[in-house]
Structures are given as C-alpha cells and as structure tokens.
Amino acid sequence: MNESSAKRSARLRELINDHIVLMPGAFNALSARLIERTGFEGMYLSGAVLANSVGGVPDVGLMTLSELRDHAAHVAGVTALPIIADADTGFGGPENAARTVRVLESVGVSGMHLEDQEFPKRCGHLEGKRLVPAEEMCAKIAAAAAAKTSADFLLIARTDARGVVGYDEAVKRARMYLDAGADGIFPEALHTREELSRFADDVDTLLLANMTEFGKTEYLTADEFAELGYNIVIFPVTLQRVVMKAAEGALETLKTERSQKSFVDRMQTRAELYDLLGYRMDVPPPSGTR
C-alpha cells in the first residue's frame, strides 16, 4: 500500500467535491483492512480510540505525537484509503502543531483536525471543557497551514465552543479559524438537525460532522448530513464499541462454560482472517524464515 499523503489527500478532495464521505474509525491495522474491504472510501483515526485501545487510558490528552505517528503509520501501511487523524490540541503550541502536520504527512495521513480546548482536553461530548483564546488557536492553525507539504492536505479546525460558551461563539470562532488558514471546520457537539443546518448556513465551508454514539448530537444518517451541507461524517468509536462489547460477552461465556465452542459461529474464521490479510497458505515463506 504505502500510498503517499499527497495522493491520498488529492483523492479525498476529489471525493468530497462530489459527495459526502463516510469515515469509520479504525482502531488498528486489521480493522483498517476491513474498512477498506467493506467498500468505504476513507477512514478516521480517533484520539479517543488511540487513548483507549492503544494506551488503555481515557481520552484526556495523555497520548503523544510519537504514539499517534506510529498508530497512523501502521494503519496507512495496509490501506490506500484517505485517512483523517485526530490531532487533539496539536501537542503544544504553534510550532508543535506545525510539526504534527509534517509528521502525519510523512506517514501517509490525508488530513487532521486541531481543537480549541485547553490542555489537558476532554471528550467533546462531556461537560467541563475549557477553551483557549481564539487568537491562540488561530496562531496554531496558521503555523499548521504553513507547514503543509501538500496543498491538498486537509487542515480542519474543530471548535468546542458550542458546549462551553454557546452557538454564536462557535460560529465566530469558525470564521476566525478559516481566516487563519483552516481548510474546513468541525463543529463539535451540535445538538439537533436544526442546529447543524443553521451552522452550515452560517459557516459556508467544508464541514465535518461527528456522528458518535451516546453523545449530544441527534442521530442522523450520512445522507441527512449531506442534505444539510456536510462533506465528511466520522464514526470515531463505533467499531471499538462493537468489538469490545462482543469481546466482553465472549469472555463471560468462556468463563462460565469453560469453552469457546458455543460461540465459534460468531467468530471470524481462520480462512476469513487470512483472506483479509492477503495471506496464502500454499505459498512457502521467504527463505531464512520459519
């Protein structure tokens, strides 16, 4: 695979200029293969999933740029699809945000978003968030935009203002972030269809919607988001939640029945796994391996 960031970014631009792009969240390289196999056109790397699945910690700004880089490299190495990464608060100030762009481009990521929360950040659908001054966020965006190697790399500014100081401030900040160099806006935790529609009218730009579960945003389909004027819809933690719930049930059954026999029919088979991996058992391993 190892498609370059520039090629993936150009492809993503083509897609969003034509229709809304659905991006499930990959939690590892194997799930990335499955997302591509299923026919999706892009995928998302969630900061929450990086913290939960890779670090085993809550999404409170504990992960580092190096950990995100390695996670993104593993995913990008097995798929040619465009990838948008959650870069949280940019891992520091403007210079850190600029370095984040360069690092993620170097491993094949197509775009990223920065958010205007104070560090340490919180999940966008939780209470207790705090914002940095808008001017401080603008400085990060300007530095990140200047660091782009490819003009097609998507730099998306996320604002959490709706849940902290209200809708009007979210619109004001979004316009400032576009002026600072952002390619698009991610308005986090808007509540209703009407609010999502109003934001699309008030901020005429590329828009990313977050259709997370158990959050503040009304459940809408991707087609409904498209009708409202959104270009990308992410499902950041959907696969992790499904897999972890299934794993919990399997472990409970295994502990009770002391065997996995009763749920073998709910497993991915060895043949299905090898097919997804592109592994042929009839081909001998390279010389020097066992």
The residue type at 55: G
The residues assigned a catalytic role are 44, 59, 86, 88, 113, 115, 123, 158, 188, 210
As given in the structure block, the two tokens for residue 134 are 């808008």
Q: Give Cα separations from 276 to 29, 75, 86, 241, 279 (angstroms).
A: 11, 14, 26, 21, 8
Taking the C-alpha atoms of residue 189 and residue 51, their distance in angstroms, rounded to an integer, is 20
